[in-house]
Amino acid sequence: MERPSIAAAAFDRPGVRVRTLANLRWIAIGGQFVTLVFVGLYLDYPLLWPSLIAAVLASAVLNIGLITLYGRNARLQGRDLVLHLAFDLIQAGVLLFLTGGLANPFAILLIVPVTIAATLLPARAMLALGTMAGAVLVVLWMWAKPLPWNGPPPTFPTVYQFGTVVALALAIGFLAIYLWLVSAEGRDRARALVATEAALTREARMSALGSLAAAAAHELGGPLGTITLIAHSLSEALGDDPDFGEDIRLLESEAARSRGILIRIARRAEAEDPFARLGLDVLLHEVAHSVAPTRIPIHVNAPAPQPEVRRSPELLHGLQNLVANAVRHGGSAVELRATSTPADISITVLDDGAGFASDVLPHLGEPDLGPSHSGAGGTGLGIFIATTLIERTGGRLSFRNRREGGAQVDVRWPRAHIEASEQE
């Protein structure tokens, strides 16, 4: 299945609202100002006031410009967001440079811009900010102004200072990578769920259209029958009339043609959605028929009688995805097997192809395997959609390779979750 491009783009680069970024920056500005006032005036530490106030004011001016130039619900993405986070990183570095560098306990706040980038930006942008943070750490270690003490400042050994640089660099790197991996997985799952919902909505909409078409055909059948009857009577009475005969015969033929169209619509709709529940063997034949025609045959092995199950869009679309995947990678045939016990109901999809690649097998069912994992160049999104839809019906999937060659997918439900009751 193709992923929806608009939704995918939104999840790949979610960005951040201007208002959110501005509020975070106002909080940082307020904290910086309060800290400087407390340390400089209350604790009476000697500070480089002009330079420090200029750094805080620069951040405030940028924030005012941000709010003024962008709309209320605008979002910052890509290069614009990178530039703003880079400014925050450099501004924090300047404040630390003027107040002791890495000896300042607030040096830990250098982590913040990089971790924000890790959750909102691609890997390349995150690495760029991480590299910039590393450069800031080196500058603070080598050339920062001494911490303004009331008295002789403490002297830290070079090994301790180096350890501080390494510790902060590792903290920034670890948190950034961890958050990027978690957020990327969340975006992959959200994007795949959008595709799942789109597929399910389409399936439900098609089913609803079929029901609507059947209802419309039955409702229009009565008035059209009356029109047909009157047209037939007029044809018998005035069919040979030189002025109106031809029009009456045309009316009769068009009424008969319209009646035939309604009958075909009703039959097609009833064929597409005949029952709310049906036998498991019939369900598998329907799934096989919906995937056909294919380059290889699909065999259904479901000896009757089989239990009746609920016919739902989730179940149909999930099984269709599994069968379509087996057909795509199979060698000469695909087989659908159905078994049932007093406790559960199982469906097995088998093919005689090359089987699942060893590096793909542990990841099947994840939202996005990516081209590096898929031997066929796919992303694994179809199997994820099938897994999600079938799990909604109470089923559980397992994937493995057959000893004789090929792939096998086992789907198992507790009977109470899928079996249809007599009242349905």
- Give the tens place of pLDDT for each residue, 258-281: 877 777 766 655 555 545 678 888
Q: Which band of pLDDT confidence, cut at 50, 70 and 90, is reported for residue 77?
A: confident
Q: What is the pLDDT of residue 165?
A: 93
Window from 171-180, 232-241, 406-415 with minimum mean pLDDT? 232-241
Window from 3-17, 51-65, 148-162, 175-189 with minimum mean pLDDT? 3-17
| % of residues, the chain, pLDDT over 70 | 82
3 state SS for 6-21: HHHHHHHCCCEEHHHH
Q: Rounded mean pLDDT of 142-159?
A: 83
In the block, tokens 């619509």 appear at 265
Most confident region among 210-214, 252-256, 282-286, 363-367 by mean pLDDT: 282-286
User: What secondary structure letter does DSSP report for 241?
Assistant: -
Alpha-carbon span 203 to 194, nearest angstrom: 14
Q: What is the pLDDT of residue 228?
A: 79
Window from 3-7, 171-175, 190-194, 216-220 with minimum mean pLDDT? 3-7
Q: Rounded mean pLDDT of 405-412?
A: 94
Strand 396-401 with 308-310, pairing: unpaired
Instruction: Spell out the domain ranges in the chain.
Output: 5-192, 198-272, 277-418
- Other Cβ atoms less than 10 A from the Cβ of 331: the count is 12
As its CATH architecture, domain 277-418 has: 2-Layer Sandwich (3.30)
The two tokens of residue 118 are 């890790």
- Other Cβ atoms less than 10 A from the Cβ of 403: the count is 7
User: What secondary structure letter does DSSP report for 13?
Assistant: S
Handedness of CA 362, 364, 370, 375 (dihedral sign): positive
Window from 166-170, 191-195, 343-347, 385-389 with minimum mean pLDDT? 191-195
Window from 6-10, 130-134, 153-157, 314-318 with minimum mean pLDDT? 6-10
The two tokens of residue 55 are 């750094």
DSSP per position, 332-353: S-EEEEEEE-SSEEEEEEEE-S
Alpha-carbon span 24 to 215, nearest angstrom: 56
pTM of the model: 0.58
Q: Which band of pLDDT confidence, cut at 50, 70 and 90, is reported for residue 196?
A: low
C-alpha 387 chain-centroid distance = 14
Most confident region among 106-110, 277-281, 312-316, 380-384 by mean pLDDT: 106-110
Which residues have C-beta within 8 Å of that of residue 47, sequence separation ≥ 6? 36, 39, 40, 98, 99, 148
Tell me: pLDDT of 408 over 80. yes
Which residues have C-beta within 8 Å of that of residue 98, sequence separation ≥ 6? 47, 48, 51, 52, 55, 144, 145
The two tokens of residue 97 are 């440079």
Q: Which band of pLDDT confidence, cut at 50, 70 and 90, is reported for residue 257?
A: confident
Tell me the helices (H) and strands (E) count for the chain, helix number first.
12, 9
Alpha-carbon span 399 to 396, nearest angstrom: 10
- Burial of residue 348 (CB within 10 Å: 0-12, 13-18, 19+) is middle
Most confident region among 12-21, 27-36, 375-384 by mean pLDDT: 27-36
Q: Which band of pLDDT confidence, cut at 50, 70 and 90, is reported for residue 153?
A: confident
Cα distances (Å, whole numbers) of residue 57 to 49, 60, 158: 12, 5, 34
Q: Calculate the average pLDDT of the chain.
A: 83
Instruction: Give one word for 166, left, alpha or beta, with left for phi > 0 and alpha for psi -120 to 50.
Output: alpha
- Other Cβ atoms less than 10 A from the Cβ of 208: the count is 12
